[in-house]
A and B are shown apart, each in its own frame.
Chain A
Amino acid sequence: MNKKFWLVIVLAAACAIPLAVPNDYIQQIVNMIGIYIILGTGINILTGYTGQLSLGQAAFFGIGAYVTAILNTWTGAQFFVCLIASILITGAASLVLAIPALKVKGPYLALLTQGFGEIIRIVMINWTPVTNGTAGILKIESPRIFGFTFDTLTRYFYLTLFFVVLGLLYQKILIESRTGRAFIAIREDSEAAELTGINVTTYKIRSFVLSSVYCAVAGTLYAMMIRYVSPDTFIANTSSVILWTAIVGGFGTLIGPIIGGVVMQTLPELLRFCGNWRLVVYGIILLIVILHFPGGLYPYIQKLLAFFKRKGSR
């Protein structure tokens, strides 16, 4: 009861966010936070809960965005058609990668996914007839759903928010289910998991494909918000930002991706005053976070909240 009450409060507060946003520039950052929460949730399931490190999430994000861009500009396909195609094609691509990739462990898996990311980026650049090369794809339409067009950033915020909530909700239910326990068991001790009756290979593949589906949804949302895609967006750096989104908030926590999304998207903007030193300061702050808060920020925020609760009840 109490939990539901808080959920409603938080949702209402989230819906009110655009009221506090002064301009489109900031609204776009807010929307990007939403997209990165979705990306962060995906990698949180794969790496945070299942323990499989991926450095290639940008590839799936990119496939989702490009499928959407191509389908929409070529055939005029609308949002839901693009979304479903994006999920199916990204999911298929991740399945093709997962089968060989998940036979290897730890750093090798990370290298393999990183390599895959590079391949996809090179395909985006060189498969010009389809992807329009380095110029990218322009003039993607804004989503029209049941006659309503999400053509302003404020409107787009609510579309993004819907998928953020859906993605987080699914993550919560999944992690607390039989499948989630299998994922965590694999992270904790994959051999013991197998000897407890879990088909480790299958569940690793499921986790991998599921995390790519989150990327696909984020990709479609991104393409139809920016209305332009180019290979520059889906580089190795994007993969690391996605990974950091889950790390900063707290790997293997349900709320972590929200904190990570906010931190990773606002920090570079807040640091604009540093001029040329911006990226250096950004890097140093991230290093401090990982050294001082090895479990991410969420556990500390939890402690802080508990502290204030105790103070308040006195």
Chain B
Amino acid sequence: MALLELKNVTKRFGGLTAVEALDLDVQEHQIAALIGPNGAGKTTVFNMITGAYHVTEGRVTFNGTVINDEKSYNAMKPHKIVELGIARTFQNIRLFKKMSVLDNVMTGFHSVSKAGMFNIIFKPSEMKREEDENRVKAMKILEFLKLQDIANSQAGGIPYGTQRLLEIGRALATRPKLLLLDEPAAGMNSSEKKALVKTIRSIRDEYNLAVLLVEHDMELVMDISEDITVVNFGRRIAHGTASEVQANEDVIEAYLGRSDD
């Protein structure tokens, strides 16, 4: 059984069909990619997986649980889906800008910790212990991403590429089984991109999770992905390994037709 399974998923916005009858699987421990030209519907797919959008047709299953389908009572709230084990980063970075780097990661621990408003009064020592533990864990994540030296900087003020890494750090804190990365290399220079490939691989191994990434840098995608799904105008036009996809006529046409991106 696949970890994540999209079956026949369609999303319409009024008259516009952003995603149409899409099938997509991600296996446990796999690095998979979803690629396609701008406007192909990739971010919309992420939004349906995370519960931000309700699917118009079809269903999304994660680890055997239906998390989103056309019957609205089956659609889970985004924060519940995070608890189940799906975390994401955003195409347009969405950090908590006025918080410190460390606090951004600490916020990621929300769903895996407990302390509430009354613990301050009734269980202060328990709360302090949880807080201390989470701080240590957060620092470990920052060290893993080599961000430990800027732990106390304000998140909105650090360089762009570093902000992308920090978003990954915040996502890792939720202890995901599946990590969705929306254009993680955007705005990075080539050495940062090389480092990113290494980081993604080591995240997969260290945190024992699956990765689904959307990315425009083909070199990076072909290098890292074990399974690639290509979409164009919301429809799947190819699926397979890097070499299979690269040889596909429809893919060549879709990309050559839009050599500008």
Name A residues whose Cβ lies closer than 8 Å to a Cβ of B.
170, 173-174, 177-179, 181-182, 184-185, 188-189, 191-200, 206, 210, 252
Nearest A residue to B86 by beta-carbon distance?
A195
Contact between A179 and B94, CB atoms less than 8 A apart: no
The reply to whether B79 and A200 contact each other, CB–CB distance below 8 Å, is yes
Docked-complex contact B115 and A178, CB < 8 angstroms: yes
**CA of A181 to CA of B110, assembled, Å:** 9
CB of A41, distance to nearest CB on chain B (Å): 15
Q: Within the assembled complex, what's the spacing in Å between the Cα atoms of A197 and B108? A: 7
Instruction: Give residues in B with beta carbon < 8 Å to A.
Output: 50, 52, 77-79, 82-83, 87-88, 90, 94-99, 103, 106-117, 119-121, 127, 130-131, 170-171, 174
Assuming the A-B contacts A189-B94, A192-B96, A195-B88, are A179 and B79 also in contact, with contact meaning beta carbons closer than 8 angstroms in the complex?
A: no
Closest Cβ of chain A to B134, distance in Å, is 8
| Closest beta carbon of chain A to B193's beta carbon, Å | 24
B79: which of A170, A174, A181, A198 is its contact (CB, 8 Å)? Answer: A198
Least distance between A87 CB and chain B CB atoms (Å): 13
Q: Tell me if B52 and A191 are in contact (CB < 8 A).
A: yes
Known: A177-B115, A184-B99. A196 touches B52 (CB 8 A): no
Are A178 and B113 in touch, CB under 8 angstroms?
yes
Chain B residues, CB < 8 A from A194: 52, 77-79
Given A191-B52, A196-B108: A181 and B99 interface contact (C-beta under 8 Å): yes
Among A173, A184, A199, A200, point to the contact of B96 (Cβ < 8 A).
A184
Measured between C-beta atoms, what is the minimum distance from A90 to chain B in Å? 16
Give chain A residues whose Cβ lies under 8 Å from the Cβ of B90. Answer: 192
Inter-chain CA distance A188–B98, complex, in Å, is 7
- Interface CB pairs A-B, < 8 A, 26: A170-B120, A170-B121, A173-B120, A174-B120, A178-B110, A178-B114, A178-B130, A178-B131, A179-B116, A181-B103, A181-B107, A185-B96, A191-B52, A193-B107, A194-B78, A196-B87, A196-B170, A196-B171, A197-B79, A197-B82, A197-B83, A197-B108, A197-B174, A198-B79, A198-B107, A210-B117
Return chain A residues, CB-CB under 8 Å to B112: 197
* Majority DSSP secondary structure for residues of A touching B: helix
Complex contacts, B77 vs chain A, CB 8 Å: 194, 199
Q: Which residues of B contact A195 (CB under 8 A)?
A: 50, 52, 78-79, 82, 87-88
* Docked complex Cα distance between A173 and B123 (Å): 13
The residues of B that contact A192 with a CB separation of less than 8 Å are 90, 94-96
Q: Is B115 touching A182 in the complex (CB atoms < 8 A)?
A: no
Q: A178-B116, A181-B106 are in contact. List 13 more A-B contacts (CB 8 A).
A: A178-B106, A178-B110, A181-B110, A184-B99, A185-B99, A192-B95, A195-B78, A195-B87, A196-B82, A196-B110, A196-B170, A197-B174, A206-B117
Q: How far is the CA of A210 from the CA of B171 in the complex (A)?
A: 29
User: Which residue of A173, A198, A206 contacts B110 across the interface (Cβ within 8 Å)?
Assistant: A198
Complex Cα distance, B96 from A196, in Å, reads 11
**For B99, what are the chain A residues with a Cβ–Cβ distance below 8 Å?**
181, 184-185, 188
Residues of A within 8 A of B107 (CB): 181-182, 185, 193, 196, 198
* A271–B193 CA distance with the chains assembled, in angstroms: 62
Smallest CB–CB gap between B85 and chain A, Å?
10
Chain B contacts for A198, CB-based, 8 A: 79, 107, 110-111
